[in-house]
């Protein structure tokens, strides 16, 4: 990638630099991000928001006024205090009393630094972050501004990277910490993003939950102090997703200014908003600094993961559209970013550990009849894995269950005209396994301490390259000997007793990050060897649903909860940052294995269609009528999967605490629209309702078809009417079980699909 210095004042450039004034303006007509070096050499943020025209100087946006209790930098000058300034990469200990972006311990024990502006360069496109997932962009798509700060006393350098993309309101940021001095340094904190906004009038929305209840949105108004979400599980976790929204009060789906923050990382994270005494809001995200300490010998450097931040004005919807496009166009790898995903059947809920080759083939052949394209063999195919107490770590086919091995099974599946996929849990080991018996020290443990387990499993020490190499070889061998198109990459443990057994006492603070780097390394090596392989991420359901994993795994299993109603809530919440093409979603059996709820197969299908569609049951157990519905669903998905995978997704009616839920997808050319309209609990004789559609061509005529009772079935309506007046979707038949209503009757958990087609 060409690297060159560009001192551009061109209004069309993505990076406008006023060299004499030390002013940097990143803009693309959608957003502006303006920084300036002040008289003390500090890099300040002047503005982040909707695009503004450039001007020679924005220096008037710096407020330097005397405050009574300020800690001032210049003797005799009461106005210059770091406490008041909006710094780009603040430090602790020199008058700024908020959370620092960086903290580096020196040989004398001090963590004080004084980072001063040194230099900058602009790079067309976007350099990769070595060993880390990050958005990708070519020279014609983005420009990266790199600003170098330096601490004169220690020789510590910080390279701040800012990438601005054409046509996107999202900015990508990361930092590289470089030791150019001659002493040993320890990085104890290095945020990927630190951004001071001038006021605090924001609502903060976070996405929290638990196993089987992942990523429900929760909103609260910011108040003074720190409002933080984080993970110390060494996985992003089920509890708090590494994403958040700051929006102006009153923001709804279609109106209001929002900032979306997403962290492209899968381990311990921290994301917080700190409102200070003057109601300035400092937003930071990065690797969680608890238990973090990264040694830097002279000449070494440390790269932080990437963070993304957006600014949009069209409500939550506009922010989601921007993140969906970023994930689809710049994060998910080719060819799967644009490629429709195969309809799959997974045997987990159908068999759990109780299967043999014939049982699997019978499940697959029934699925093949329905048009399903990929058979996925889940947990239990390897080693001595007859339950969850043994076998993890031994990635060798279990001959009792699979007498012809995976090669034989894959061939039988392939011969039917289906692709074959396989489950792995590469990061874990059971004590009852040959791998553990040979290398007990490879299971994460702290010497002489008790080891906790989860579901009888222990994590392998992925900070140790020998461990990664062993698992790589085992997986590579399996993938080379059977025709495998897809793998499901599961992980059902969170780190405990984290300890680096190979690098010694000084390295313990590096362990958790090194573990994640090991996971990324294995993923990358497998993808280098098998570039077409589709990997679906998974972690006990949706316990590692993050942008870091999406870089390698184009889809992630959303949740172990396959109940249609719970799935509406999970997929709705997930959709704020992630597109449907990233969300693994399956139709399963009823009563549902997680909730015991009985929902119609139509609704289970109508929810799963808005994800990477698949089944997780033995279709042979279904009634003829339900099987016909499965045939219809698969045919519908195949007809519309390009739209479902690459179209724009809009939320229309939130399921939380409501009787109903709705969402829609619009094709790129705006000719095809698919709306999922769900009744949760029926409201007898319910209100008149309509849905204001979005993203349509206002002048196009859309012909409406509906898979259930509807008063607008067969009508042709114009885009402007559908968006401004709305599309009537009253559940008029509700409450008349006696069959009086000519439209029929609706029940709890009913659903309909509307398809709107313009010529
Ligand atoms: C947890 C996953 O979320 C499930 O889908 C399944 O693969 C099991 N693990 C298998 O052990």
Sign of CA dihedral 308, 311, 313, 316: positive
Q: Does the beta carbon of 538 sit less than 6 angstroms from any atom of ligand 1?
A: yes
Ligand 1: distance of its center to the CA of 541 in Å? 7
CB contact at 8 A, 578 and 559 = no
List, in order, residues 6 or more apart from 483 with CB less than 8 Å away: 410, 411, 414, 420
Which candidate, 593, 691, 706, 622, places its Cα nearest to that of 650?
691
Position 737 scores a pLDDT of 66
pLDDT-above-90 percentage for the chain: 91
Is 724 a residue whose pLDDT tops 80? yes
Judge whether 54 lies within some domain: no
Q: Same domain for 522 and 577? A: yes
Is 12 a residue whose pLDDT tops 70? no
> In sequence order, what DSSP letters do the residues of 344-409 get, joined into one string?
EEE-HHHHTT---HHHHHHHHHHHHHTT--EEEE-S-SBTT-SSTTB-TT--SB-TTT-TTHHHHH
Judge whether 382 lies within some domain: yes
Domain boundary among 597, 615, 646: 646
Is 7 a residue whose pLDDT tops 70? no
Which candidate, 447, 428, 645, 464, places its Cα nearest to that of 555?
645
Q: Same domain for 466 and 609? A: yes
Task: Exactly one of 151, 196, 378, 490 is catalytic; name it.
Answer: 490
Position 1 scores a pLDDT of 31
How much is the average pLDDT of 353-362? 97
Q: Does the beta carbon of 349 sit less than 6 angstroms from any atom of ligand 1?
A: no
Is 137 a residue whose pLDDT tops 90? yes
Position 10 scores a pLDDT of 54
Q: Same domain for 168 and 203? A: yes
Domain boundary among 582, 616, 646: 646
Judge whether 39 lies within some domain: no
Position 5 scores a pLDDT of 39
Ligand 1 pocket: which of 388, 557, 583 to mutate (most atoms within 8 A of CB): 557
Whether pTM exceeds 0.95: yes
Burial (Cβ within 10 Å: 0-12, 13-18, ≥19) of residue 560:
buried
Domain boundary among 331, 365, 393: 331
| Cα gap 250→203, rounded to integer Å | 9
Model pLDDT for residues 175-233, shown as the tens digit of each residue: 999 999 999 999 999 999 999 999 999 999 999 999 999 999 999 999 999 999 999 99
How much is the average pLDDT of 544-569? 98
Going by pLDDT thresholds of 50, 70 and 90, the confidence category of residue 64 is confident
Q: Same domain for 348 and 320? A: no
Is 746 a residue whose pLDDT tops 90? no
Q: Is 196 a catalytic residue?
A: no
Q: Same domain for 639 and 524? A: yes
Judge whether 35 lies within some domain: no
What kind and span of H or E run contains 274? strand 269-275
Q: Work out how many domains the chain is built from and give that number.
A: 3
**What are the C-alpha distances in Å from 418 to residues 342, 367, 369, 412, 725?**
10, 9, 11, 9, 46
**Three-class secondary structure assignment of 659-681:** CEEEEEEECCCCCEEEEEEEECC
Ligand 1: distance of its center to the CA of 614 in Å? 15
| Cα gap 281→198, rounded to integer Å | 6
How much is the average pLDDT of 674-702? 95
Judge whether 219 lies within some domain: yes
Ligand 1: distance of its center to the CA of 359 in Å? 19
How much is the average pLDDT of 403-430? 98
Judge whether 58 lies within some domain: no
Q: Same domain for 377 and 234? A: no
Model pLDDT for residues 364-399, shown as the tens digit of each residue: 999 999 999 999 999 999 999 999 999 999 999 999
Q: Same domain for 701 and 625? A: no
Q: Same domain for 428 and 536? A: yes
Q: Does the beta carbon of 422 sit less than 6 angstroms from any atom of ligand 1?
A: no
CATH number at residue 91: 2.70.98.60
Q: Does the beta carbon of 536 sit less than 6 angstroms from any atom of ligand 1?
A: no
Q: Same domain for 215 and 349? A: no
How much is the average pLDDT of 122-126? 97
How much is the average pLDDT of 436-457? 97
How much is the average pLDDT of 548-570? 98
Is 738 a residue whose pLDDT tops 80? no
Rg (CA), the chain: 27
| Cα gap 164→31, rounded to integer Å | 9
CATH number at residue 714: 2.60.40.1180
Q: Same domain for 669 and 604? A: no
How much is the average pLDDT of 14-42? 96
Position 2 scores a pLDDT of 33
End-to-end CA distance of the chain: 43
| Cα gap 70→562, rounded to integer Å | 56
Judge whether 114 lies within some domain: yes
Ligand 1: distance of its center to the CA of 98 in Å? 42
Q: Does the beta carbon of 540 sit less than 6 angstroms from any atom of ligand 1?
A: yes
CA dihedral 107, 109, 110, 111 (to 10 degrees): 90
Q: What does the DSSP 8-state code read for residue 295?
A: E
Q: Phi, psi (5° rounding) for residue 652?
A: -115, -35
Q: Same domain for 431 and 408? A: yes
Model pLDDT for residues 35-58, shown as the tens digit of each residue: 999 999 999 999 999 999 999 999
Position 4 scores a pLDDT of 36
Sign of CA dihedral 708, 709, 715, 718: negative
Model pLDDT for residues 292-341, shown as the tens digit of each residue: 999 999 999 999 999 999 999 999 999 999 999 999 999 999 999 988 89
Give buried/exposed letters for 711-743 (b at 16+ CB in 10 A, else e).
Answer: ebeeeebbbeebbeeebebebbbbebeeeeeee
Mean pLDDT of the chain: 95
CATH number at residue 628: 3.20.20.70
| Cα gap 310→169, rounded to integer Å | 5
Judge whether 50 lies within some domain: no
Q: Same domain for 362 and 412? A: yes
Q: Please give the residue range of the domain that contains residue 148.
A: 86-331
Ligand 1: distance of its center to the CA of 35 in Å? 47
Q: Does the beta carbon of 347 sit less than 6 angstroms from any atom of ligand 1?
A: no
């Amino acid at each position: 990638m060409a690297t060159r210095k560009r001192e551009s004042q061109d209004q069309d450039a993505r990076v406008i630099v006023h060299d004499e004034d030390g002013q940097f303006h990143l803009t693309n007509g959608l957003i502006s991000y303006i920084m300036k070096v002040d008289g003390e050499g500090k890099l300040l943020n002047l503005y982040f928001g909707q695009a503004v025209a450039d001007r020679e100087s924005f220096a008037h946006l710096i407020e330097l006024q005397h405050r009574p209790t300020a800690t001032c930098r210049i003797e005799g000058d009461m106005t210059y205090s770091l406490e008041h300034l909006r710094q780009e990469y603040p430090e602790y200990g020199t008058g700024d009393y908020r959370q620092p972006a960086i903290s580096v311990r020196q040989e004398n024990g001090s963590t004080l630094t004084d980072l001063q502006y040194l230099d900058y360069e602009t790079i067309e496109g976007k350099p990769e972050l070595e060993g880390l997932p990050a958005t990708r962009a070519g020279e014609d798509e983005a420009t990266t501004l790199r600003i170098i700060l330096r601490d004169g006393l220690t020789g510590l350098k910080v390279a701040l990277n800012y990438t601005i993309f054409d046509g996107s309101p999202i900015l990508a940021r990361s930092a590289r910490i470089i030791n150019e001095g001659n002493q040993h340094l320890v990085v104890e904190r290095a945020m990927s993003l630190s951004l001071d906004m001038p006021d605090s009038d924001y609502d903060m929305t976070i996405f929290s939950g638990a196993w089987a209840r992942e990523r429900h949105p929760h909103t609260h108004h910011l108040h003074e102090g720190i409002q933080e979400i984080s993970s110390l599980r060494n996985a992003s976790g089920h509890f708090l997703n590494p994403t958040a929204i700051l929006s102006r009060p009153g923001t709804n789906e279609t109106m209001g200014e929002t900032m979306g923050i997403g962290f492209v990382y899968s381990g311990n994270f921290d994301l917080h908003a700190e409102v200070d005494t003057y109601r300035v809001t400092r937003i930071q995200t990065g690797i969680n600094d608890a238990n973090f300490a990264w040694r830097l010998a002279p000449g070494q450097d440390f790269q932080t993961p990437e963070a993304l931040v957006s600014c949009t004005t069209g409500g939550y919807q506009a922010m989601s559209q921007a993140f969906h496009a970023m994930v689809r166009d710049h994060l998910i790898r080719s060819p799967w970013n644009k490629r429709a995903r195969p309809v799959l059947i997974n045997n987990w809920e159908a068999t759990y550990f109780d299967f043999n080759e014939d049982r699997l083939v019978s499940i697959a052949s029934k699925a093949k009849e329905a048009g399903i394209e990929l058979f996925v063999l889940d947990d239990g195919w390897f080693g001595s894995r007859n339950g969850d107490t043994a076998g993890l770590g031994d990635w060798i086919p279990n001959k009792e269950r699979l007498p012809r091995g995976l090669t034989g099974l894959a061939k039988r599946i392939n011969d039917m005209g289906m692709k074959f996929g396989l489950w792995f849990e590469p990061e874990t080991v059971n004590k009852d396994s040959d791998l553990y018996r040979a290398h007990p020290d490879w299971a994460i443990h702290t010497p002489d301490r008790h080891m906790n387990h989860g579901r009888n499993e222990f994590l392998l020490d992925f900070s140790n390259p020998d461990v990664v190499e062993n698992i790589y070889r085992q997986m590579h061998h399996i993938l080379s000997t059977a025709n495998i198109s897809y793998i499901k990459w599961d992980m059902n443990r969170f780190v405990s007793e984290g300890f680096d057994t190979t690098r010694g006492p000084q390295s313990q603070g590096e362990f958790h990050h090194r573990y994640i780097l090991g996971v990324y390394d294995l993923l990358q090596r497998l993808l280098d060897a098998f570039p077409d392989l589709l990997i679906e991420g998974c972690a006990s359901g949706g316990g590692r649903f993050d942008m870091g994993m999406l870089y390698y795994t184009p889809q992630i299993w959303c949740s172990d909860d396959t109940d249609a109603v719970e799935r509406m809530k999970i997929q709705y919440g997930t959709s704020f940052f992630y597109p449907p093409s990233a969300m693994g979603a399956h139709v399963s059996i009823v009563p549902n294995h997680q909730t015991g709820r009985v929902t119609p197969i139509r609704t289970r299908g109508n929810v799963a269609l808005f994800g990477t569609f698949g089944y997780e049951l033995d279709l042979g157990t279904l009634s003829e009528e339900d099987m016909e519905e499965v045939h219809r669903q698969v045919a519908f998905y195949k007809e519309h999967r390009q739209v479902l995978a690459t179209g724009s997704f809009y939320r229309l009616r939130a399921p939380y605490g409501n009787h109903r839920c709705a969402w829609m997808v619009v094709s790129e050319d705006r000719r095809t629209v698919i709306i999922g309209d769900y009744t949760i609990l029926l409201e007898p004789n319910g209100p008149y309702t309509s849905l204001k559609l979005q993203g349509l061509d206002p002048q196009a005529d859309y012909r409406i078809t509906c898979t259930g009772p509807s008063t607008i079935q067969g009508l042709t309506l114009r885009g402007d009417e559908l968006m401004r007046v709305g599309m009537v979707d009253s559940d008029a038949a509700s409450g008349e079980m006696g069959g009086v209503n000519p439209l029929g009757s609706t029940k709890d958990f009913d659903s309909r699909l509307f398809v709107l087609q313009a010529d």
